[in-house]
Chains A and B, each alone.
Chain A
Amino acid sequence: MANMSHNNLNAKLVLLGDMGAGKSSLVIRFVKGQFLEFQESTIGAAFFSQTLAVNNATVKFEIWDTAGQERYHSLAPMYYRGAAAAIIVFDITSTDSFERAKKWVQELQKQGNPNMVMALAGNKADLEDKRKVTAEEARIYAEENGLFFMETSAKTAVNVNDMFYEIAKRLPRAQTSQNPAGMVLVDRPAEGSRSSCCA
């Protein structure tokens, strides 16, 4: 269970949000530095990993990009269970997606890990002229619910890396990670046999 060795931290991060909000686009921007105009709808969940250096430590994010399609909603716990951080994504041009985001926040508050770092991402910030959700109302909602909020654009890359850095900084440091709760960080079996995949 040693998720922290020296200054290295493994952190499971899950992205939740309505279909088409831009979860995959944000992850692909962060991990591969790319953007696709036509990003296909995710099936189940896709797994990525990316390492960040923050304050002379490294954080290895193990990212679950979940599918926003309705049929996968009931399976979400499978992916957010044990997550240290969550990004709840909505599309600033869709009020429905904002409502959906609030539902995810509620679910995580009920079911998730209480120490989970939660970020609210108002994505597609480049589509200012189609905006339906104001930055103000999203910020107020985020503050009330203990999330930090950023408006992002996977297309122009605005605030994408910043958001992941911010999460990395807010992750509980060494002391908390050794608490018995053990849910802050990734909970993986057979830790020792995995050496090859981290190379």
Chain B
Amino acid sequence: MTTDSNSSSSESDDQNPNSNIDQSLDAIENQLASISMSSHPPTATSLDEDVVDEENEEEEEEEEVEEEKLVSSVNGSLNEEIVAAQAKVDSIEHEQHIETNCKPGSSSSSFAWRDTTEAEPPLSPSSSGYAGERGSTSGGDDDDIGEVEHDGVLGQWVSGKRHPDEDDASVSWRKRKKHFFILSHSGKPIYSRYGDEHKLAGFSATLQAIISFVENGGDRVKLVRAGKHQVVFLVKGPIYLVCISCTEEPYESLKGQLELLYGQLILILTKSVNRCFEKNPKFDMTSLLGGTDAVFSSLIHSFSWNPATFLHAYSCLPLAYTTRQAVGAILQDVAGSGILFALLMCKHKVISLVGAQKASLHPDDILLLSNFITSSESFRTSESFSPICLPRYNPMAFLYGYVHYFDVDTYLILLTTSSDAFYNLKDSRIRIETVLLKSNVLSEVQRSMLDGGMRIEDLPVDPTSRAGPMYPHLGLPRPATDSSGRIRDAHVGIGGPAGLWHFIYRSIYHDQFVASEFSAPINSSRQQKRLYRAYQRLYSSMHDKGMGPYKTQFRRDENYVLLSWVTQDFELYAAFDPLADKALAIKTCNRVCQWVKNVENEIFLLGASPFSW
């Protein structure tokens, strides 16, 4: 698999000790040589004012973040004592609970929280393929230079291609931390995240040379490490996808991102685009992707904020069970009449979806579909009817998608196989709209957006007693005023019970996940992105085929305690204060799981899911 030295590695044995590949690698390294990762250029003067400005901004933000963290750590540790005292009461039964859940499937040990890194001094860098973040040593460590920061909620992110004026000779281009390229097997550029594709022809040719050289040897190149850079390759017939990154994301994650990028391409063009290359190997595909820069850049952006991109699960907008049922019923009603899939979505979250007969929709398709629609301004202007291919459903053929926005965030997608179904679908939309308006669904959707999802501050002390439909939103009164039985008051602004900062819960059966809202101290988009990357690494280490699969993991570094727990039913990933107590953290995870189960009616789409058929 991968090697850590500055050498190429390929799937099978490295039997190609060969000057050609070395030359190609040299070429790549030369082109990347000036991408210095270790620190800010101390005197980043002149040349590219844009880049310098943005870097400075990032630096400031970074400093802010560090301060925040310091404060919260101090509070966090005090905090734990309080929690410890309060949590003793319900500790015993929860431990039993966690044991029984862990036993099935784990052959050797009945229940072991795997404690891999706790023994290491908190500030030590990574080992065993798990790289701790080193955010404090260098400003802008984890961010792409010049990337407009985005908090994933407010959506101030700028769409479209940024810095199209750059090419591989620009200093700023070389400094970008994560490049994505799509090129053809003849070396023609198809897409580049930064810079104009056509100006990158030489660079494209270099990448192509590496890939085809190895391919000609009957082998396949997957990963090249060059210093701090990883170059990940994905070959899809005549289309090559490449990611060059110094973000220290695991290979599996980067490969998954390339797969999604390819899926997005297929969604727009279908796999039949391959035929163009059969006719003419030098075919220039860029013209076929005209006007889609925003789609790709928004997908790439989601690689750093949307857990769906690595969990391969979708998330739902929290809604009262009966509300979601009502939506499901009307969608089901229209789905019979020539509609293959009907989805009601709010931004990237599902409100409800149904599939005709046995048709099922893959979470990746949902991700790519909603990315395609939300990133294209065109769909907001008017109702539209467009060819759309779902790569996981059928990569060879177009479906036809009717898209209509009910309000700024909420939109309906009706997919059919028939190209002349527009007026049918329009009628269906009118029927759906009537029902949604009558039953107030759209205003409930708006309210849910304002209320947000699960907040760790609201984690009930004893979730078993807090279930039930008496609370309107996620089992909680809102605004939260009661203090009895909840430890929220003791934790205002300091990160919640037992130093719990954030969690992601993935229901395997439902193909869905829920992530808690970000709250202190994970406030800034920078912090959120760092945590996101930490989850990503945790996820891929839990699913590492070589070492895993693990059942549980407990990791401590200077940023967090990370805890993960994988069972047949669910996966839980949780981040705690770095000083959090292990036993307490485990207890808290049990409470989170119980809480999720208590409110699963509201946070997941149940029953109607086509996956369960």
Q: Check if A and B associate.
A: yes
Question: In the assembly, what is the distance between CA of A194 and CA of B425, in Å?
Answer: 11
Q: State the Cβ distance, B420 to closest chain A Cβ, in Å.
A: 7
Asked if B419 is an interface residue, CB under 8 A from chain A, the answer is yes
Chain A residue numbers with a CB within 8 Å of B378 are 24, 40-43, 46, 67
| Contacts A70-B290, A71-B288, A194-B427; A43 near B381 (Cβ below 8 A) | no
Q: State the Cβ distance, B304 to closest chain A Cβ, in Å.
A: 24
Q: State the Cβ distance, A93 to closest chain B Cβ, in Å.
A: 18
Question: In the assembly, what is the distance between CA of A43 and CA of B426, in Å?
Answer: 17
Instruction: Judge whether B381 and A47 touch: CB under 8 Å.
Output: no
Instruction: Judge whether B419 and A46 touch: CB under 8 Å.
Output: no
Question: In the assembly, what is the distance between CA of A78 and CA of B416, in Å?
Answer: 14
Q: State the Cβ distance, B402 to closest chain A Cβ, in Å.
A: 9
Instruction: Judge whether A194 and B291 touch: CB under 8 Å.
Output: no
| Contacts A43-B384, A44-B385, A46-B382; A70 near B424 (Cβ below 8 A) | no
Chain B residue numbers with a CB within 8 Å of A194 are 423, 427
> Which of B269, B377, B420, B426 is A71 in contact with, Cβ under 8 Å?
B269
Question: In the assembly, what is the distance between CA of A196 and CA of B428, in Å?
Answer: 11
Interface bits B369-391 vs A (CB < 8 Å: 1, else 0)? 00000001111011111111000
| Contacts A43-B376, A43-B378, A46-B381; A196 near B423 (Cβ below 8 A) | no
Chain B residue numbers with a CB within 8 Å of A158 are none
Asked if A52 is an interface residue, CB under 8 A from chain B, the answer is no
Interface bits A64-85 vs B (CB < 8 Å: 1, else 0)? 0101011110010010010000
Chain B residue numbers with a CB within 8 Å of A69 are 290-291
Chain A residue numbers with a CB within 8 Å of B419 are 75, 78
Q: State the Cβ distance, A29 to closest chain B Cβ, in Å.
A: 13
Q: Which among B291, B294, B379, B388 has the greatest number of chain A C-beta atoms within 10 A?
A: B291
Q: State the Cβ distance, B426 to closest chain A Cβ, in Å.
A: 7
Asked if A45 is an interface residue, CB under 8 A from chain B, the answer is yes
> Can you name the residue of chain B whose Cβ is closest to the Cβ of A70?
B287
Chain A residue numbers with a CB within 8 Å of B300 are none
Asked if A16 is an interface residue, CB under 8 A from chain B, the answer is no
Asked if B430 is an interface residue, CB under 8 A from chain A, the answer is yes
Question: In the assembly, what is the distance between CA of A75 and CA of B424, in Å?
Answer: 19
Q: State the Cβ distance, B121 to closest chain A Cβ, in Å.
A: 52
Q: State the Cβ distance, A59 to closest chain B Cβ, in Å.
A: 18
Instruction: Judge whether A41 and B430 touch: CB under 8 Å.
Output: no
| Contacts A47-B382, A75-B387, A78-B420; A193 near B427 (Cβ below 8 A) | yes
Asked if A133 is an interface residue, CB under 8 A from chain B, the answer is no
Instruction: Judge whether A47 and B384 touch: CB under 8 Å.
Output: yes
Chain B residue numbers with a CB within 8 Å of A75 are 387, 419
Question: Which interface class (under 10, 10 to 19, 20 to 34, 35 or more) fits B?
Answer: 20 to 34
Question: In the assembly, what is the distance between CA of A138 and CA of B383, in Å?
Answer: 33
Q: State the Cβ distance, B589 to closest chain A Cβ, in Å.
A: 43
Interface residues of A in 174-199 (CB under 8 A from B): 188-190, 193-194, 196-197
> Can you name the residue of chain A whose Cβ is closest to the Cβ of B383?
A47
Chain A residue numbers with a CB within 8 Å of B592 are none
Chain B residue numbers with a CB within 8 Å of A81 are 420
> Which of A43, A48, A78 is B379 in contact with, Cβ under 8 Å?
A43
Q: Is the interface of A mostly helix, strand, loop or mixed?
A: mixed
> Can you name the residue of chain A whose Cβ is closest to the Cβ of B273?
A71
Interface residues of B in 260-299 (CB under 8 A from A): 268-269, 287-291, 294
Instruction: Judge whether B430 and A45 touch: CB under 8 Å.
Output: no
Instruction: Judge whether B423 and A188 touch: CB under 8 Å.
Output: yes
Asked if B422 is an interface residue, CB under 8 A from chain A, the answer is yes
Chain B residue numbers with a CB within 8 Å of A197 are 426-427, 430
> Can you name the residue of chain A whose Cβ is closest to the Cβ of B285?
A71
Chain B residue numbers with a CB within 8 Å of A193 are 427
Instruction: Judge whether B423 and A190 touch: CB under 8 Å.
Output: yes
> Which of B291, B388, B401 is A41 in contact with, Cβ under 8 Å?
B291
Q: State the Cβ distance, A77 to closest chain B Cβ, in Å.
A: 9
Question: In the assembly, what is the distance between CA of A70 and CA of B424, in Å?
Answer: 27
> Can you name the residue of chain A whose Cβ is closest to the Cβ of B404?
A47
> Which of A28, A41, A44 is B384 in contact with, Cβ under 8 Å?
A44
Chain A residue numbers with a CB within 8 Å of B388 are 44
Instruction: Judge whether A40 and B291 touch: CB under 8 Å.
Output: yes
| Contacts A43-B376, A45-B386; A71 near B268 (Cβ below 8 A) | yes
> Can you name the residue of chain A whose Cβ is closest to the Cβ of B268?
A71
> Which of B287, B291, B424, B434 is A189 in contact with, Cβ under 8 Å?
B424
> Can you name the residue of chain A whose Cβ is closest to the Cβ of B423?
A188
Asked if A154 is an interface residue, CB under 8 A from chain B, the answer is no
Asked if A19 is an interface residue, CB under 8 A from chain B, the answer is yes
Instruction: Judge whether B423 and A189 touch: CB under 8 Å.
Output: yes
Q: Which among A40, A44, A69, A75 has the greatest number of chain B C-beta atoms within 10 A?
A: A44
Q: Which among B288, B381, B388, B420 has the greatest number of chain A C-beta atoms within 10 A?
A: B381
Question: In the assembly, what is the distance between CA of A41 and CA of B379, in Å?
Answer: 10
Q: State the Cβ distance, A34 to closest chain B Cβ, in Å.
A: 10
Question: In the assembly, what is the distance between CA of A161 and CA of B601, in Å?
Answer: 52
22 CB-based A-B contacts, threshold 8 Å:
A40-B291, A41-B378, A42-B378, A43-B379, A44-B388, A45-B385, A46-B382, A46-B383, A47-B383, A47-B422, A47-B426, A69-B290, A69-B291, A70-B290, A71-B268, A71-B288, A78-B419, A78-B420, A189-B424, A190-B424, A194-B427, A196-B430
**Which residues of A are at the interface with B, using a C-beta cutoff of 8 A?**
19, 24, 28, 40-48, 65, 67, 69-72, 75, 78, 81, 188-190, 193-194, 196-197
Top 6 A-B pairs, shortest CB-CB distance: A44-B386, A41-B291, A40-B377, A46-B382, A46-B384, A71-B288
Beyond known contacts A47-B384, A47-B385, A196-B434: 20 more, CB 8 A cutoff: A24-B378, A40-B294, A40-B377, A41-B378, A42-B384, A43-B384, A44-B388, A45-B384, A45-B386, A47-B382, A65-B382, A71-B289, A71-B290, A75-B419, A78-B419, A78-B420, A190-B423, A190-B424, A194-B427, A197-B427
